[in-house]
Structure 1
């Protein structure tokens, strides 16, 4: 696991596994809470921490997503990202949906999120993934800036529809 260094932080990014659940779950819960607190569209989403932990555990056991965990020099978990595999019919390629990206609030602005995105991109390219996609709330302008800085382009011509199934 290579160590990356910013002017104020040394950290390592690794693939997360079930043994990382205790370190990953609090970050995942904080990530979800951020969206529940900042966007009215998520106000009715479950805030049950055990349910969130169970969801994350299931992803790790079934390996139906890829989770990357960031640890600092003291081995403390400080951020994560999760991607789901998909395909693009229009681009005729494999794609990854970067569903979650989170860095502890006190460490934001130290290039950890950018390093996570670059790590995911390297991993995707290594196995022939042709496209990375993501979505974020309109209110999360810090994320917008990071994504655009990393070369992501905002698509304006599509509407996103959701139907929750019971």
Structure 2
């Protein structure tokens, strides 16, 4: 499969929202097509993230990733948080995830970011193998914590 990765355009909103909803379901969230559409539309309208999409032929988008600009205080430099990466089930094992990660890295370099960070489920061994094959390093120093608000 020939894979093309590009930045999402406003016309891609329905397809990206569909992938985003599937991504959320992968992480055990209830389906919410309208919520997914509103979330992605807001990110695009406010230019709060970079969304890259993968095309693999005449069918629907094969996958997407979303990068959020942030900063590393320790390095005193800008970074991207690669928060969302999803490949449509029918397009898996075809290099789509790899293409998206490489395009995200190129975009980060072009945008002057010094690093990208990501988290994934401990059980997502396929993704972990892909990340490590591309030189991502498992953090052995820092622990991640979260606290729900409200």
Q: TM-score range by the shorter chain?
A: over 0.9
Structure 1 distance, partners of 2:59, 2:4, is: 9
Structure 2 distance, partners of 1:107, 1:20, is: 18
Structure 2 regions of 5+ residues with no counterpart? none
Q: Deviations over 1:25-60 (max 9, x none)?
A: 111111111111xxxxxxxx5542211221111111
Runs of 4+ in 1 over 3 A off after TM superposition: none
SS in 2 for 1:26: helix
Structure 2 distance, partners of 1:73, 1:94, is: 34
Contact 2:22–2:31 (Cα < 8 Å) also in 1: no
1:111 counterpart residue number: 95
1:124 counterpart residue number: 108
> Of 21, 27, 35, which aligns to 1:29?
21
Per-residue deviation, 1:75: 5.5
Structure 2 distance, partners of 1:156, 1:140, is: 17
SS in 2 for 1:10: coil
SS in 2 for 1:121: helix
Q: What TM-score results when the alignment is normalised by the length of structure 1? A: 0.85
- Note the 1:1-166 alignment, pairs <5 A: 9-36=1-28, 45=29, 47-74=31-58, 76-166=60-150
SS in 1 for 2:3: strand
Q: How many residues align structurally?
A: 150
Q: What TM-score results when the alignment is normalised by the length of structure 2? A: 0.93
Structure 1 regions of 5+ residues with no counterpart? 1-8, 37-44
Per-residue deviation, 1:11: 2.2
Contact 2:19–2:63 (Cα < 8 Å) also in 1: yes
